[in-house]
Structure 1
Amino acid sequence: MKSIQYQLKLVEDNDEKCDCNHSPSTPSFGKVGFLVSNSGSLQNVGNDAIVVYDTVTTNLGGGYDKSTGVFTAPVEGLYYFSWTVLAFAGKSFYTQLKLNDIVVAKNHAGATGIATHMPSSQSAVLQMKKNDKASIRVHSGGLYMIGDKWSTFSGYKI
């Protein structure tokens, strides 16, 4: 009985379509996750601009769009997000996580007056509907974020 309930749930999660090949990478099996980073540093990024992470390490389920920097939930569910910013010595790079343009968490990477780089991390757990969008945006102070895999954004469906 549990197997039948599980199969029905998979069909419901995939817009009433069956994945007859049982492909483990399709969102119908609930496996969604991504890890992205920047190939280079970002400087003087405007307020509320989306931080576009252009280097994709993992994008299971295809939810992250590296051309826009936006993650779109391929299926409804509970998602965990995390992001880390490394601000250059003497600079800052403040960010926030937005869900459909609503701020849900902020990250303060401030190294103003400090002679070394300053890291900062943040995470959030969000209930998302299919096609909801999550992105990292510059809050204020987008002066200098170090790239080269020091600053990352990741998420997965729990």
Structure 2
Amino acid sequence: MLWFVVSFLFCASSFAKEHSILDQNQLNEVMNELKLLRKEVEENRHELKAVKLELEESKRHRTCQCEPNSAGTKPESEINELRSADIIGTNPVSDPSKIRRIIPPSEPHASHDGPIAFYAYMSAPMTTIGGNHALTFNVIKSNSGLGLHPTTGVFAVPKSGFYVFTWTIRVPENSYHGVELVVNGQAIGALYQHSGSGGDDMSSTIAIVHANEGEDVFLRTKMDYNQGVIYSNDYGRTSFAGWKLV
């Protein structure tokens, strides 16, 4: 009887040990398979990333070849629009430091033999305007000769001769402003616009002057008679224009 018990215990121990070894071997096989799968995933990830980069590079190459005028010279009208976007964003009030000055700086311009003309307007109202305040116009629609500077509002005369300058000022209710044309530091021509309660008004004027090459021409408010806003929107633009006669 004792022999039978000892034999049974020995067999049971051997069976448990054998199954334990079997389970450990199966676990090792599973772990090895997982390692192989993980390695394949990592390799495929690098390949997919390389394919993605190749597709993006190919797409950029096709875009550069297909886009018109991508490396050529931009037309003058597009240059004017791009330069005007640098003035003060789209709102002349957004950066007062670029507006509030008495005599804006000028830039030298090369002599120009073609037609000379410009037209620009404000895209939004200007507020807190005092005396001797130079006006800027952030939307330049035409600028043949590139005389009008987009950031200062100054027209640097490209070539000596007689010029026509015209400007339009719009003011809302209970506002009034006197705006004068300055040529080479001298006030030549002025406009006064006053709007009472219940509406807004706008007025235009014109001046024909002789200006020499390199002289500065710009608009500024007069020292007195200034109150409220200078208005400008789609229904009425505050604007500045000029062209060379002869």
TM-score using structure 1 length: 0.79
User: In the alignment, does 2:100 pair up with 1:28?
Assistant: no
1:23-44 CA deviation, whole Å, 9 max, x = no partner?
xxx8213x10000000110112
Which 5+ residue runs of structure 2 have no aligned equivalent? 1-110
Structure 1 residue runs of 4 or more that deviate by more than 6 Å after TM superposition: none
1:82-109 CA deviation, whole Å, 9 max, x = no partner?
0000111111122110111211011111
**Count of residue pairs the alignment pairs up:** 132
Greater CA radius of gyration, 1 or 2?
2
**Kept after mapping to 2: 8 A contact 1:94/1:142:** no
Point out the structure with the larger helix share: 2
| Alignment partners' CA distance in 2, 1:93 and 1:147 | 14
**Kept after mapping to 2: 8 A contact 1:69/1:135:** yes
Match of 1:67 among 151, 167, 179: 151
**Kept after mapping to 2: 8 A contact 1:43/1:142:** no
The equivalent residue for 1:150 is 237
Q: CA RMSD in A?
A: 1.7
| Alignment partners' CA distance in 1, 2:237 and 2:152 | 20
The equivalent residue for 1:121 is 204
**Shift of residue 142, structure 1, vs aligned partner:** 4.9
**Kept after mapping to 1: 8 A contact 2:174/2:228:** no
Asked which structure has the greater RCO (Cα within 8 Å, sep 6+), the reply is: 1
Question: Which letter does structure 2 place at the counterpart of 1:146?
Answer: Y
For the residue of structure 2 that corresponds to 1:52, the secondary structure is: coil
| Alignment partners' CA distance in 1, 2:228 and 2:137 | 16
| Alignment partners' CA distance in 2, 1:143 and 1:60 | 33
TM-score using structure 2 length: 0.51
For the residue of structure 1 that corresponds to 2:159, the secondary structure is: coil
Point out the structure with the larger strand share: 1
